[in-house]
A and B are shown apart, each in its own frame.
Chain A
Amino acid sequence: MAFLSIHDVSMDFPIKGTGRFRALDSISIDVGKNEFVCLIGHSGCGKSTLLNLIAGLLLPTSGSISCEQKPVRGPGPDRAMVFQSHALLPWMTCYENVHLAVKQVFDRSLSATAIKDKAEQALKLVRLDHAMQKYPFEISGGMKQRVGLARALAVEPRILLLDEPFGALDALTRASLQDELVRLVESIRSTVVMVTHDVDEAILLGDRVVMMTNGPAARIGDVLDVALPRPRDRLTLAASPEYAGYRQYLLKFLYQIQGIALE
């Protein structure tokens, strides 16, 4: 039995009147323990909806999702999420943002000092210990995303959910954060599901890339196993023929099979 099992999940949204909009149609994926799965597809194909379903922020119209054999009935810190819009609380410092989450999850099991240490450790892990007492408006977009990552890692989730975490960043910041994520994932060996629309990001980070067809009623179009050895390095990969092959395979799916004609 898989660690995270998504079985025949469909998602409808009600639209004005009596109509329904089918966003996802019969999606089934199994994610193994410590596996890094990337969901890729064009905008509006429902990848974020699928991630929200795993998080429990939405409940599926039909089908079932279970994490460690327990059905997902709602959100919880065992499936911590890093949001596309960083979603830091602007009235709290970086430390307080992380501390709020850690305290909520470990309040019963750990002492106040241990909770404080855990929050600080998480910020150290993303190399932000120098900015702990800063407010989100005082730091850059890349740093905000690192705080969001620290907050999610600090609660020691069973699965880490990443919703296009680097989508709003410039290319250079994005690359350095991807490298950071490669390092973190290899050190903590966590199960990760990540939504992205960046082909290179998916190959660099993923063990498996799940390709979704265009909405409405998006399905799984294809799945690519990325058999590149870890640790992966962006420069070495750029010269590797396997990498080029994976890249071409994904690009072909996105722009030829699922190409969107601009009206």
Chain B
Amino acid sequence: MAFFVIFIVVWQGLTAGGPANTTGVDPEYARLAGQSAAATPSAAIPTPGAVAKRGWELLRTAFDDSNPNNLGIAWHLLRSLGRVLLGFVLALVVAVPLGFVLGLFPYLYRAANPFIQVLRPISPLAWMPLALYTFRDSSVSAIFIIFICALWPMLLNTVVGVATVRQEWINVSRVFGLDTFQHVTRIVFPACVPMIMTGMRISIGIAWFVIVAAEMVGAQSGIGYFIWNEWNNLQIASMIVAIVLIGLVGLGLDSGLAWIGRTLSFRE
């Protein structure tokens, strides 16, 4: 809390320099543009007060959808969240079963590993132009990007989780003669839940990172688009509000998954 107060005070101190910081309007441009030139907002970093004021305005009109060209910020956040969750769930549906197969059959994992290791370090955004070209739709492309980036942590965590189930539990399964189905559903799966949940947390964090950049490149909506649009309008205060909101939503996603993980994982 004290840290937050110090941060605000320092911010205020650095930005409250007054008109000295603001860039003057070029007189030539002012003559050409007339009245609108004078209304051009300054490019300086706004004060905390100005950001708070802008934040209040944005939150008051958060769910405004009267003007399709000027949607409320909540709609943008929900669009982004929708894309993230869709891409994330698709990745989960692929990663966990595939991870089980690769974890249970080490020779398959050895065969697949080179491909995984080449695909994994590719920045998700590198896929964006190819995705746009292939899907011809910015929203589908963004979901594809999220799928690609969310896939690897969940896949690898599932593989490692399945391959490192404690020997004593495997011995129990063998001594009491559990069949393959019982072995996978009653022993391996519950034993891997903590690892899978950790993979899901890493994935959702990366997905929430990447959606902002993906929407800046291609989308016509979403929080990434919002920031880029406000940047083009030089609405620095709006950008800062959006940045803070991104952080809060990311925190919410992470704590939500952490809570689910604690609920589903076994205790010792």
A12 CA / B13 CA spacing, docked (Å): 74
Report A-chain residues with C-beta under 8 Å of the C-beta of B190: 89, 91
A101 on the interface (CB 8 Å rule)? Answer: yes
Of the four ranges (under 10, 10 to 19, 20 to 34, 35 or more), the interface on chain A belongs to 20 to 34
Report B-chain residues with C-beta under 8 Å of the C-beta of A253: none
Q: Which of B80-88, B123-131, B165-173, B196-204 contacts A (4 or more CB under 8 A)?
A: B165-173
Report B-chain residues with C-beta under 8 Å of the C-beta of A136: 268
Asked if B168 contacts A90 (CB within 8 A), the reply is no
Contacts A83-B171, A89-B187 given; indicate if A77 touches B267 (C-beta within 8 A): no
Asked if A100 contacts B176 (CB within 8 A), the reply is yes
Asked if B175 contacts A105 (CB within 8 A), the reply is no
A155 CA / B178 CA spacing, docked (Å): 13
A210 CA / B42 CA spacing, docked (Å): 90
Mostly, the A contact residues are: loop
Query: From residue A84, how far is it (CB to closest CB) to chain B in Å?
Result: 9
Mostly, the B contact residues are: helix
Contacts A135-B267, A137-B267 given; indicate if A76 touches B171 (C-beta within 8 A): no
The chain B residue sitting closest to A84, CB to CB, is B168
A173 on the interface (CB 8 Å rule)? Answer: no
Query: From residue A156, how far is it (CB to closest CB) to chain B in Å?
Result: 12
Asked if A57 contacts B174 (CB within 8 A), the reply is yes
B61 on the interface (CB 8 Å rule)? Answer: no
Interface residues of A in 84-105 (CB under 8 A from B): 85, 87, 89-92, 100-101, 104-105
The chain A residue sitting closest to B190, CB to CB, is A91
A55 CA / B267 CA spacing, docked (Å): 29
Asked if B267 contacts A75 (CB within 8 A), the reply is no
Binary CB contact string for chain B from 178 to 217 against chain A (1 if under 8 A, 0 otherwise) = 1100100011001101000000000000000000000000
A101 CA / B174 CA spacing, docked (Å): 11
Asked if A79 contacts B175 (CB within 8 A), the reply is yes
Asked if A81 contacts B177 (CB within 8 A), the reply is no
Considering residues B171, B182, B190, which has the most beta carbons from chain A within 10 angstroms of its beta carbon?
B171
A161 CA / B6 CA spacing, docked (Å): 66
Asked if B186 contacts A75 (CB within 8 A), the reply is no
Cross-chain contact of A105 among B168, B176, B186 (Cβ < 8 A): B176
Asked if A104 contacts B174 (CB within 8 A), the reply is no
Query: From residue A144, how far is it (CB to closest CB) to chain B in Å?
Result: 11
Report A-chain residues with C-beta under 8 Å of the C-beta of B182: 100, 104
Asked if B168 contacts A76 (CB within 8 A), the reply is no
A151 CA / B176 CA spacing, docked (Å): 9
Contacts A87-B169, A89-B169, A100-B186 given; indicate if A80 touches B268 (C-beta within 8 A): no
Asked if B175 contacts A81 (CB within 8 A), the reply is yes
B231 on the interface (CB 8 Å rule)? Answer: no
Asked if B176 contacts A77 (CB within 8 A), the reply is yes
B266 on the interface (CB 8 Å rule)? Answer: yes
Report B-chain residues with C-beta under 8 Å of the C-beta of A81: 171, 175
Instruction: Give me the interface of B with A, judged by CB distance under 8 Å.
Output: 168-169, 171-172, 174-179, 182, 186-187, 190-191, 193, 266-268
Instruction: Give me the interface of A with B, judged by CB distance under 8 Å.
Output: 55, 57, 74-77, 79-81, 83, 85, 87, 89-92, 100-101, 104-105, 135-137, 151, 155
**30 A–B contacts, CB within 8 A, in A order:** A55-B175, A75-B175, A75-B177, A77-B177, A79-B175, A80-B175, A80-B176, A81-B175, A85-B168, A87-B168, A87-B172, A89-B169, A89-B186, A89-B187, A90-B266, A90-B267, A90-B268, A91-B190, A91-B191, A91-B193, A91-B266, A100-B178, A100-B182, A100-B186, A101-B176, A105-B177, A135-B267, A136-B268, A137-B267, A155-B176
